[in-house]
Chain A
């Protein structure tokens, strides 16, 4: 039982054709295992979060009661992308799980929605958002190391509070960027293999090996997204993270939550008027 399936093409070459589909179960079980281990760790092992002393009224007065975390446009992008992602996963994997339906058209339509939303997000994040706030930097990595050392009982300096996006959040975004770009770029090319109103079908656009690698990359990124989406939904529903999830709906965080959990130097918000 390998990771990929191969076939012999008409020229006698052995070429990869797609991933072995049991990998979707590996991703799902891996995702589930992570959730269970994390939930047990948080419940029984991890040190309880220490509450800071009461926030001073002077500090409170500097900030508005509601702190804007996500603009309307950013929230719309997130939810459009979510719907597209779920549609893609359902159309890709449900037929493989034994629930056959005509999935191809829904799949590429959802893929186009995802691609368009990603292109939009790249422009929006580059020109209208704090572009670098989501990317891990040296400081994040240094502090992650300190956190790990302290969690394992070793001496290390106390890390600062997070900026707008915690390190784990940034790493998750990075992995989603890589897998999202892999599925959308390969997916757009794969549309040349099926009938759509946009392209004339041409399976000879690339050689069999290139196509095979594209299918493998699409498949690996696709099954990876099963685990990643499971993890994302899990954290979104965890009680201590739910405030952040709500901010993806309403856009705002409470001032107290902001002052308690974030470093005001690393995530600067406009002062109260």
Chain B
């Protein structure tokens, strides 16, 4: 466990007032720059003196990055919009309730008041070996301390681990992927838009980053299309305590059911791997089938194919199976039955 020293190392602080200024600073300082949104992930790193950026770019004064607006039946959410604002937004509640559910289950009310949607999807891994400052793969070293015969790895990955076994801890990310959201990324060179599921990057491809953001780039907004507005949603998060905790695993699904049969579906789990996992094999298997417990059971079994639990996270395999089963069948069962 890192020793929290509470006094951050010195850095140069910039507080731009516009996106243009922020992008200019990011371009100027590239990989020396640290983007500060709500600060809830950043201040851990800075106070523990594990990350020592030369420059911190605080986005709190950039008002154009805040707010939720309706665009062509869908939504555009500024990256600096707080989780509380997302949770309370009437359109989100009415049309995309899965997102308000996911955002509402993140952390605690105080943290949701301060934490932003952009920060929530871009936050770093919570593996305590990594957060403790050990020079692991994710920190540029040559070992994963969490994947050794004696490691404590109860919260770690059961799927798609590649050297690093940390998981993505976001609660809003699976909801956004289920809603086919798009991430708007800007730099001084222009804008690129990536699908939410492609925004996250696993250790096989880039072991030191969680997202596709490159130096000089900024996540400015998240667009949610109208495609899934008003669909049948399911979100469930399992955690050790019922508030102020990261997920042991969560599941988000969006479904269109016609005549009792699943016509369209997207289902995503998070905290099972280093990126939120869209379960396309499950989607293909259940499409056209009745939304029932039997279909859910079949889907749950399919979801865990290839799972490789570590020493202490074997429980995640039945957990994932049951979460997928419940998401498909739409029937919430007693959690610890």
Contact status A203-B143, CB under 8 Å: yes
- From residue B156, how far is it (CB to closest CB) to chain A in Å? 13
Contact status B143-A195, CB under 8 Å: no
Interface residues of B in 141-160 (CB under 8 A from A): 141-145, 147-149
Q: Contact flags (1/0) for A87-107 with B, using CB distance below 8 Å?
A: 000000001000011111000
- From residue B324, how far is it (CB to closest CB) to chain A in Å? 24
CA distance A102 to B206 in the complex (A): 8
Interface residues of B in 277-300 (CB under 8 A from A): none
Interface residue A194 (Cβ < 8 Å from any Cβ of B): yes
Q: CB < 8 Å: which of B142, B161, B163 contacts A17? A: B142
Contact status A10-B163, CB under 8 Å: no
Q: CB < 8 Å: which of A17, A104, A194 contacts B141? A: A17
Interface residue A18 (Cβ < 8 Å from any Cβ of B): yes
Residue from B141, B147, B162 whose CB has the most chain A CB atoms within 10 Å = B141
Interface residue A202 (Cβ < 8 Å from any Cβ of B): yes
- From residue A160, how far is it (CB to closest CB) to chain B in Å? 50
Give every chain A residue within 8 A of B148 (Cβ-Cβ): 202-204
Interface residues of A in 1-47 (CB under 8 A from B): 5, 7-8, 10, 17-18
Give B151's nearest chain A residue, CB to CB. A203
Chain A interface residue count, Cβ-Cβ cutoff 8 angstroms = 22
CA distance A100 to B162 in the complex (A): 14
Interface residues of A in 191-205 (CB under 8 A from B): 193-195, 201-204
CA distance A249 to B285 in the complex (A): 51
Interface residue A211 (Cβ < 8 Å from any Cβ of B): yes
CA distance A10 to B145 in the complex (A): 10
Given A201-B147, A203-B143, A203-B144, the answer on whether A8 and B206 have CB atoms closer than 8 Å is no
Q: CB < 8 Å: which of A95, A102, A211 contacts B142? A: A211
Give every chain A residue within 8 A of B308 (Cβ-Cβ): 195
- From residue A184, how far is it (CB to closest CB) to chain B in Å? 18
Interface residue A167 (Cβ < 8 Å from any Cβ of B): no
- From residue B210, how far is it (CB to closest CB) to chain A in Å? 13
Interface residue B135 (Cβ < 8 Å from any Cβ of A): yes
Q: Contact flags (1/0) for A204-222 with B, using CB distance below 8 Å?
A: 1000000110010000000
Give B206's nearest chain A residue, CB to CB. A100
CA distance A101 to B161 in the complex (A): 15
Chain B interface residue count, Cβ-Cβ cutoff 8 angstroms = 19
- From residue A12, how far is it (CB to closest CB) to chain B in Å? 12
- From residue B14, how far is it (CB to closest CB) to chain A in Å? 26
Give A208's nearest chain B residue, CB to CB. B143
Give every chain B residue within 8 A of A100 (Cβ-Cβ): 201, 205-206
- From residue A24, how far is it (CB to closest CB) to chain B in Å? 16
Contact status B149-A195, CB under 8 Å: no
Give B134's nearest chain A residue, CB to CB. A10
Contact status B205-A7, CB under 8 Å: no
Given A17-B135, A203-B148, the answer on whether A102 and B205 have CB atoms closer than 8 Å is yes
Give A219's nearest chain B residue, CB to CB. B142
Give every chain B residue within 8 A of A201 (Cβ-Cβ): 147
Q: Contact flags (1/0) for B287-317 with A, using CB distance below 8 Å?
A: 0000000000000000000001000000000
Contact status B162-A215, CB under 8 Å: no
Contact status A101-B205, CB under 8 Å: yes
CA distance A194 to B163 in the complex (A): 6
Contact status A7-B149, CB under 8 Å: no
Given A18-B142, A204-B149, A211-B142, the answer on whether A104 and B162 have CB atoms closer than 8 Å is yes
Interface residues of B in 239-275 (CB under 8 A from A): none
Give every chain A residue within 8 A of B10 (Cβ-Cβ): none
CA distance A195 to B144 in the complex (A): 12
Contact status B142-A193, CB under 8 Å: yes
Given A17-B135, A211-B142, the answer on whether A195 and B161 have CB atoms closer than 8 Å is yes
Give every chain A residue within 8 A of B331 (Cβ-Cβ): none
Give B132's nearest chain A residue, CB to CB. A10
Residue from A17, A102, A103, A203 whose CB has the most chain B CB atoms within 10 Å = A203
- 10 further A-B pairs in the complex, CB-CB below 8 A; given A101-B205, A102-B205: A10-B134, A95-B205, A103-B204, A104-B163, A104-B204, A201-B147, A202-B149, A203-B144, A204-B149, A211-B143
Interface of B toward A, CB cutoff 8 Å: 134-135, 140-145, 147-149, 161-163, 201, 204-206, 308
The 9 tightest CB contacts between A and B, nearest first, are: A7-B135, A102-B204, A100-B206, A17-B142, A100-B205, A17-B141, A203-B143, A7-B141, A102-B205
Interface of A toward B, CB cutoff 8 Å: 5, 7-8, 10, 17-18, 95, 100-104, 193-195, 201-204, 211-212, 215
Q: What are 27 A-to-B residue pairs whose CB atoms are below 8 Å? A: A7-B134, A7-B135, A7-B141, A8-B135, A17-B135, A17-B141, A18-B142, A95-B205, A100-B201, A100-B206, A102-B162, A102-B205, A193-B142, A193-B143, A193-B163, A194-B162, A194-B163, A195-B161, A195-B308, A201-B147, A202-B148, A202-B149, A203-B144, A203-B147, A204-B149, A211-B143, A212-B142
